[in-house]
Amino acid sequence: MSVSIKTPEQIEKMRVAGRLASEVLDYITPYVVPGVTTGELDRLCHDYMVQVQDTIPAPLNYAPPGYPPYPKSICTSVNHQVCHGVPGDRVLKRGDIVNLDVTVISDGYHGDTSRMFLLGGDVSILARRLCQVTLESLWLGIAAVQPGAHLGDIGYAIQRHAERHGFSIVREFCGHGIGRKFHEEPQVLHYGRPGAGMELVPGMTFTIEPMINAGKPAISELPDGWTIVTKDRSLSAQWEHTILVTGTGHEVLTLSAGTPPEPAIFPSST
């Protein structure tokens, strides 16, 4: 397994790309309201990336082996959609939860982040709790990142918190290394054992993006070849950040003015 260790110059480009990706989510937040279509959110994000930021929407026409080219510029996953939801004519309504997943390419480097949005005051207690626990799980995973730690420490922290609250971890999708390529090594599982897996070293950059279901972990793929849903149609939530392993701990690269803060019950990031 070949993992790219970033140079200081590359890390600075990753910081810029990560901030820009997060700023797309800042920009789109006021538009994520009942009555908007997921296709309109995609159009707005696309135009902002291309015309305002001068970045490239990484998902557009992305075609990993075995997949058709992805037709849109962001992913919009609503309610029981786990990930890779394709924007279209779907109208968001009060009570929905939706994940918007944004990846930009800036100066050849990728920034990748996603957030959950809760629409209106009709979001169920279960949906709110799922979104909050998933956010907490993400930050617990981030807190495990430091030189000398292992990938399994990240997965264990996420899995333990989610399952303690009665939720389940999607196993088929994981975080990933990122840099000049959208998806690099290593794979960052959201479950695992402490001390297992690759040792973390300074200069590694990867995403942590737990997908957590209110019901069972089983998933299926829709006929569009991209959208993943829970097999039992239970709700699913996901949050994502791009992380750098530093000499003393970690740095979250996908932060901006509008980023939801780290849950207060956890110590501050290093």
Domain contains 44: yes
Q: What range does the domain containing 226 cover?
A: 8-62+71-252
Indicate the range of 161-165, 216-220, 228-232, 262-266 predicted with least confidence. Answer: 262-266
Q: Tens digits of per-residue pLDDT, 89-124?
A: 999 999 999 999 999 999 999 999 999 999 988 999
Number of domains, the chain: 1
Asked whether residue 56 is assigned to any structural domain, the reply reads yes
**141: pLDDT strictly greater than 80:** yes
Q: What pLDDT, on a 0 to 100 scale, did the predictor assign at position 10?
A: 98
Structure tokens, 36: 């908007």
Domain assignment present for residue 145? The answer is yes
| 268, part of any domain | no
Mean pLDDT, to the nearest integer, of 207-223?
98
Q: Could you read off the pLDDT of 19-73 as tens digits, one per residue?
A: 999 999 999 999 999 999 999 999 999 999 999 999 999 999 999 998 999 999 9
- pLDDT, mean of residues 70-81: 98
Is the residue at 105 inside a domain? yes
User: Looking at the predicted structure, is the pLDDT value of residue 266 above 60?
Assistant: no
CA-CA distance, 96 to 111, in Å (whole number)? 26
User: Is there a domain that residue 79 lies in?
Assistant: yes
pLDDT tens-digit profile of 217-246?
999 999 999 999 999 999 999 999 999 999
Q: Is residue 88 part of a domain?
A: yes
Q: Please answer whether residues 172 and 131 qualify as being in contact, where contact means their C-beta atoms are separated by less than 8 angstroms.
A: no
Report if residue 264 sits inside a domain. Answer: no
CATH code, domain with 155: 3.90.230.10
pLDDT of residue 268: 43
- Reduced 3-state DSSP string for the chain: CCCCCCCHHHHHHHHHHHHHHHHHHHHHHHHCCCCCEHHHHHHHHHHHHHHHHCCEECCCCCCCCCCCCCCCCCEEEECCEEECCCCCCCECCCCCEEEEEEEEEECCEEEEEEEEEECCCCCCHHHHHHHHHHHHHHHHHHHCCCCCCEHHHHHHHHHHHHHHCCCEECCCCCEEECCCCCCEEEEECCCCCCCCCCECCCCCEEEECCEEECCCCCEEECCCCCCEEECCCCCEEECEEEEEECCCCEEECCCCCCCCCCCCCCCCCC
